[in-house]
A and B are shown apart, each in its own frame.
Chain A
Amino acid sequence: MCSSFRVQVIERDAAIPYNLQLLRLLHESGGAVAEDKSEDVGRMIQKDIYCEVWKAASVQAKWCVCSVCGGHSPRVHACLHCIHFACYQGHIQEHATATQHNLVVDVEQGQVLCMGCGDYVYDSEVRRIALACKEKSRRSLGLDTEYRAWAPDAVEMTLLQAHPKRRRPTPNSTIGNTCFMSCIIQALTHTPLLRDYFLSDRHVCQFNNDSSRCLVCEIARLFQEFYSGNKAPLILHKLLHLIWTHARHLAGYEQQDAHEFFIAALDVLHRHCQGNPPSNGDSTHTCSCIIDQIFTGGLQSDVVCQACNGVSTTIDPFWDISLDLGPCPYSTSKTDKTVPTSLADCLDRFTRPEHLGSSAKIKCNGCQSYQESTKQLTMKKLPIVCSFHLKRFEHSNRLHKKISTFISFPEHLDMTPFMSTRRNNNNNHNGITAHPTDINNRYSLFAVVNHVGSLDAGHYTAFVRQHRDQWYKCDDHMITRATIQDVLQSEGRYWSMTEGFLEHGGYCLASVVVAGLNSMLAGAHRNQGNWYLVILQV
């Protein structure tokens, strides 16, 4: 690496972009660049490398080709001593040997290469200029800021080195029977996108002067405390009070349903966020608040009239998917009598066409009469964080019971088979596995909320993931290390003795290309490399 390489930017005329009027390169091994040539360097980086204006693109197309082979070969380099473009497959090297022009710049990346020492030169100033030019050129093309993986700067590096220990989740203290809340809060605080949103302080409170009434502000405060490194349990009394105020049906000290709390919390958060609600009030959800960006998906419901085969399609937003367990009560076919034993089984059942029966005739728009019909639900749009709710509590007539079947769920889930596009082309579910996986529909597990005990006396615990594969079990104020096996087989390991079960889980989308998602969100998301899903069980 060239340690003797220096770049100096001298600011002479602020009117010229990036104050790049003069770049002076001093290089020992490559021979100094004459000062009158140094202007070229600035010009090349600006115009040829990252053309800022539309017009410059044609200049680039004309000049940034290998002058020897004439083609658009990859990795074209430009000589910094004279005007010469050549490819890296040997021609730029020939030029350097022949003329002793040792400094060249890669026109794609903006990196300077020194032929003298045979490697690229890393100079922070050149890099800064190159990035600034690139950014401007991207904007002129209408592209968003380029995603770049986070790299710690000097200060952050010192901090990381000084604190080698990584934090465990902060426990929550419970008041009364509020373990339902504590579990959901653990799951929410470990939702990567929410974390990034709150830790980067993006919330703008809409309660002027009275942020104590805003649930989002309270959650933001919790996130700060949660990730502050303070080991003392958090007491959620303020949050509880806010929930009581804004979702009155949850008020009181009794044990509540964690799923109900989850939905109520999302609802209050959504109302307190400053999103742009859908203006025309229709069901196509376009709200831009953080909750809707992360949790809202679209469920397509196709009702097919048995008489005329007319299809009426509606798309409804959803925050979570409630999955039925136990044998299907209405079905007639033999295959449907089997009890689902895995999440995939449940989803398969959820997206299967269902005969609505003779007692539930629906008016068909096609034939204008009341007819028997079938209904099929499919995923039109997947949310970034997908929450599944296993309906373990069965309420039928006078009978209330908890279904205790063990439902297995994977660490990584592919939602492709349940998408509208897939299901509608292929009503025969045997063919599902034959299709290639769409990488955009992959989820990975990041939180599981479990209910232990019976219907009227039970306890909630949660498993949450930190980083890529660190799992923790959160039991109110007790936080213990867990493995992925503990999580996936929680029934076998933890619950068999206490007759507990998995109830509710969450997954977060593996990779997201959601329209309207801003670049910060998308960036943060991709940054994780792999993906998340939250399961809630109630």
Chain B
Amino acid sequence: MSDRSIQLKNSVNLKLVETGEKERLKDMLRQRLTECGWRDELKEHAKDIVRERGLQKVTVDELVKEITPKGRQLVPDAVKRELLAEIKKFLSAQSQ
């Protein structure tokens, strides 16, 4: 990534946090993922892993590493689109 795009990313992030928009977006995302069953499915998957390994033998790091690919893959396209549209809407409102 070029310096410029890193800079841009940081300033966007700064704006999102400053205005509280980031929390709002995260809330929306959390809601959508719960509604579409993503949360339940991933939770079951994580439970399976913990059961298989034994509660004492698995750390958060290992769990995250293991479920991340599946988690990313399961996010419905509609949710991704909606989130992207929300971010764009926020940015265009900010730049005016």
Shortest distance between the CB of A2 and any CB in chain B (Å): 12
Shortest distance between the CB of B90 and any CB in chain A (Å): 14
* CB–CB A119/B60 < 8 A: yes
Report A-chain residues with C-beta under 8 Å of the C-beta of B35: 439-440, 510-513, 526
- Residue from the list A54, A72, A143, A436 in contact with B78, Cβ < 8 A: A436
* CB–CB B23/A141 < 8 A: yes
* CB–CB A146/B27 < 8 A: yes
* CB–CB A147/B10 < 8 A: no
- Chain A, 480-534, CB within 8 A of any chain B CB: 510-513, 526, 529-530
- Chain B, 52-81, CB within 8 A of any chain A CB: 56, 59-61, 76-79
Q: Which residue of A lies closest to B81 (CB)?
A: A436
CA distance A529 to B23 in the complex (A): 23
Report A-chain residues with C-beta under 8 Å of the C-beta of B9: 71-72
Q: Mark A38-78, 1 if CB is under 8 A from B, else 0.
A: 00000000000000001001101100110000111000000
* CB–CB B17/A138 < 8 A: no
A511-B35, A526-B34 given; A118·B20 CB < 8 A: no
CA distance A534 to B65 in the complex (A): 41
* CB–CB A57/B17 < 8 A: yes
* CB–CB A61/B17 < 8 A: yes
Report B-chain residues with C-beta under 8 Å of the C-beta of A512: 35
* CB–CB B78/A141 < 8 A: no
- Residue from the list B20, B31, B56 in contact with A141, Cβ < 8 A: B20
* CB–CB A439/B78 < 8 A: yes
* CB–CB A54/B27 < 8 A: no
> How many pairs, one residue from A and one from B, have CB atoms within 8 Å of each other in the complex?
68
A71-B6, A137-B23 given; A61·B78 CB < 8 A: no
CA distance A1 to B61 in the complex (A): 13
Q: Is the interface of A mostly helix, strand, loop or mixed?
A: loop
CA distance A183 to B78 in the complex (A): 38
B40 at the interface (CB under 8 A from A): yes
* CB–CB B61/A118 < 8 A: yes
A120 at the interface (CB under 8 A from B): yes
Report A-chain residues with C-beta under 8 Å of the C-beta of B13: 61, 71-72
- Chain B, 11-64, CB within 8 A of any chain A CB: 13-14, 17-20, 23-24, 27, 30-31, 34-37, 39-40, 56, 59-61
* CB–CB B56/A511 < 8 A: no
Number of interface residues of A (CB under 8 A): 33
Report A-chain residues with C-beta under 8 Å of the C-beta of B37: 529-530
Q: Mark A138-171, 1 if CB is under 8 A from B, else 0.
A: 1011010011010000000000000000000000
Report B-chain residues with C-beta under 8 Å of the C-beta of A72: 9-10, 13-14, 17
- Residue from the list B20, B31, B40, B61 in contact with A54, Cβ < 8 A: B20
* CB–CB B31/A147 < 8 A: yes
A438 at the interface (CB under 8 A from B): yes
* CB–CB B18/A61 < 8 A: yes
Q: Which residue of B lies closest to A529 (CB)?
A: B40
Q: Which residue of A lies closest to B76 (CB)?
A: A439
Report B-chain residues with C-beta under 8 Å of the C-beta of A120: 60
Report B-chain residues with C-beta under 8 Å of the C-beta of A138: 23, 27
- Residue from the list B10, B31, B39, B77 in contact with A70, Cβ < 8 A: B10
* CB–CB B10/A71 < 8 A: yes
Report A-chain residues with C-beta under 8 Å of the C-beta of B77: 436
- Residue from the list B18, B30, B31, B59 in contact with A58, Cβ < 8 A: B18
* CB–CB B56/A438 < 8 A: no
CA distance A140 to B61 in the complex (A): 32
CA distance A141 to B6 in the complex (A): 28
B14, B20, B76, B78 — most chain A CB neighbours (10 Å): B20
Report B-chain residues with C-beta under 8 Å of the C-beta of A436: 77-78
A1-B56, A438-B78 given; A141·B24 CB < 8 A: yes
A439-B36, A511-B35 given; A118·B18 CB < 8 A: no
Shortest distance between the CB of A79 and any CB in chain B (Å): 18
- Residue from the list B27, B34, B59, B78 in contact with A118, Cβ < 8 A: B59
CA distance A475 to B32 in the complex (A): 38
Report B-chain residues with C-beta under 8 Å of the C-beta of A64: 17
* CB–CB A143/B19 < 8 A: no
Report B-chain residues with C-beta under 8 Å of the C-beta of A146: 27, 30
Q: Which residue of B lies closest to A437 (CB)?
A: B78
CA distance A147 to B31 in the complex (A): 8
Report B-chain residues with C-beta under 8 Å of the C-beta of A510: 35
Q: Which residue of B lies closest to A61 (CB)?
A: B17
Q: Which of A's residues lie within 8 Å of B, judged by CB?
A: 1, 54, 57-58, 60-61, 64-65, 70-72, 118-120, 137-138, 140-141, 143, 146-147, 149, 436, 438-440, 510-513, 526, 529-530
List 23 contacting pairs A-B, 8 Å CB cutoff, sorted by A: A57-B18, A61-B17, A70-B10, A71-B13, A72-B9, A72-B13, A72-B17, A137-B23, A138-B27, A140-B20, A141-B24, A143-B23, A143-B24, A147-B30, A436-B77, A436-B78, A439-B76, A439-B78, A439-B79, A512-B35, A526-B34, A529-B37, A529-B39
Given contacts A57-B18, A143-B24, 11 further A-B contacts (CB under 8 A): A61-B14, A61-B17, A72-B13, A118-B59, A120-B60, A146-B30, A436-B78, A439-B78, A439-B79, A512-B35, A529-B37
Q: Top 9 A-B pairs ranked by shortest CB distance?
A: A511-B35, A72-B13, A61-B17, A529-B40, A119-B59, A61-B18, A141-B20, A439-B36, A526-B34
